[in-house]
Amino acid sequence: MLSIARGTCYSIFVHDIAFAIDLNEAERRISSATRETIKHKRRAPQYFEYSPAPLRIAEGTQRVRIDESFETDSQVELVVYDFGAVTVLYRMDIRGDSSRLLTLSENLYENKTLLAESRRKVEDLFKMIQPALTKANISSFVEDYVIFQVHAFGENVAIDDLTTRYAAHVTQILRAEAREPSADEIKDATSHCISFGQNDIVVVDWYAALVVDAEAEDVLTVLEFANVELLEVRFLDQRLDDALSLAYERLSKRSNRWFQFRSAPDLREISQWQVDSAILFEGVNNVLKLLGDQYLARLYRLVAQRFHLPDWDGSILRKLETLEGIYQKISDQIVSRRMEVLEWIIIFLIAISIILPFVSQNVH
């Protein structure tokens, strides 16, 4: 087993509380809030930052005991994004035999105590900044993730050994699985890894990540934001599913009502769904620009691939196109039926103009 001299475990919970948040108004209401910045370890252009920068709030909290060996720190951090997401981040010191990490990983998997505690933190924040929220609603969607950061090992460990000699043990920790993993499972769990120097590595999996680096604030920021993005695309995908069901229902009802050719409220509601979804999609994807720091850009692409973010984006774009198609069909129906009504009116007027002379002659 590996021996950890010093390390930190981060347990992250991401919630969605609104369609949009006025960060300036929220910052005015919370005195301890500061603007989040990226602490660069490597050289990067000055423009490589959040846009707009989210709020980071640090506050004291009761410690939560995970098991006999681990408990959370007395401080919790919340990060508030303008597109409605809030991250709740708990820290735990880790040291000693790495077998303890496996126990910790198992206990953190879908931990109901921490989940409930994070929701209480979000609800308290919700009450404090409610005037800054647009379409306020705490969603049932939650994305949780665990990051194990090793600052230093107790003995000399070659970085390559983590994905070779110790790969099975690393796989168990990353997947919270006590059983011995198969060769295929080990290969899959350790396939998404990246290093910048000779003594650092990031191994990313779907439930947890292992970061071996004493100064990894920028790496942690990318991992944290990728989980925020995952929650938002899942949430948006579900919203589009609901919107498509309602839009199809409206389209079916219109097909059975010949005289219903008014555009409101169907087109107005569908267009609002389209606009809201497009704004949220662009907002999430444009907050963090990874154009300047090549290493972080490669790390983000690696995490996005592991989280299947391109697949989620493709699904959302297809559903937006389908929603646009339904909008167009309802619009075409309205135009077609208006034309039919006008044609009947014209036919009726022509018929009246033909009959009127005969009626006049009979009257005289």
* pLDDT on residue 288: 63
| Model pLDDT for residues 254-286, shown as the tens digit of each residue | 555 544 545 445 666 766 667 777 776 776 666
pLDDT of the chain, 364 residues: tens digit per residue: 788 999 999 999 999 999 889 999 999 999 888 887 766 555 554 444 567 788 999 999 999 999 888 999 999 999 999 888 999 999 999 998 888 899 999 999 999 999 999 999 999 999 999 999 998 999 888 999 999 999 999 888 899 999 999 999 999 999 999 999 999 999 999 999 999 988 999 999 999 999 999 888 889 988 998 999 899 888 888 888 877 777 777 666 655 554 454 544 566 676 666 777 777 677 666 666 655 668 888 898 899 999 998 888 888 888 888 877 777 777 767 777 778 778 888 888 888 888 877 776 666 5
**Residue 184 exposed, middle or buried by CB count within 10 Å (0-12, 13-18, 19+):** exposed
* pLDDT on residue 291: 53
DSSP 8-state code for residue 53: P
**Residue 36 exposed, middle or buried by CB count within 10 Å (0-12, 13-18, 19+):** buried
* pLDDT on residue 85: 92
* pLDDT on residue 102: 92
Whole-number Å distance between alpha carbons of 50 and 29:
21
Q: Taking the domains of the chain in order of start, what are their residue ranges?
A: 3-216, 227-356
Tokens of 208: 């947890």
Pairing of strands 133-134, 142-153: unpaired
**Residue 350 exposed, middle or buried by CB count within 10 Å (0-12, 13-18, 19+):** exposed
The answer for 299, left when phi > 0, alpha when psi is -120 to 50, beta otherwise, is alpha
| Model pLDDT for residues 178-219, shown as the tens digit of each residue | 999 999 999 999 999 999 988 999 999 999 999 999 888 889
For residue 243, give the amino acid letter: A
Residue 115, number of CB atoms within 10 A of its CB: 16
DSSP 8-state code for residue 90: E
pTM above 0.85, yes or no: no
* pLDDT on residue 15: 96
* pLDDT on residue 47: 47
Backbone angles phi, psi at 344, to 5 degrees: -65, -35
* pLDDT on residue 261: 47
Angle ∠(342,343,346) on CA atoms, nearest 5: 85
DSSP string across 136-189: ----S-EEEEEEEEEEEESS---GGGGGTTTHHHHHHHHHT--SPPPHHHHHHH
Query: Which residue in 162, 168, 175 sits closest to 206, CA to CA?
Result: 175
* pLDDT on residue 322: 80
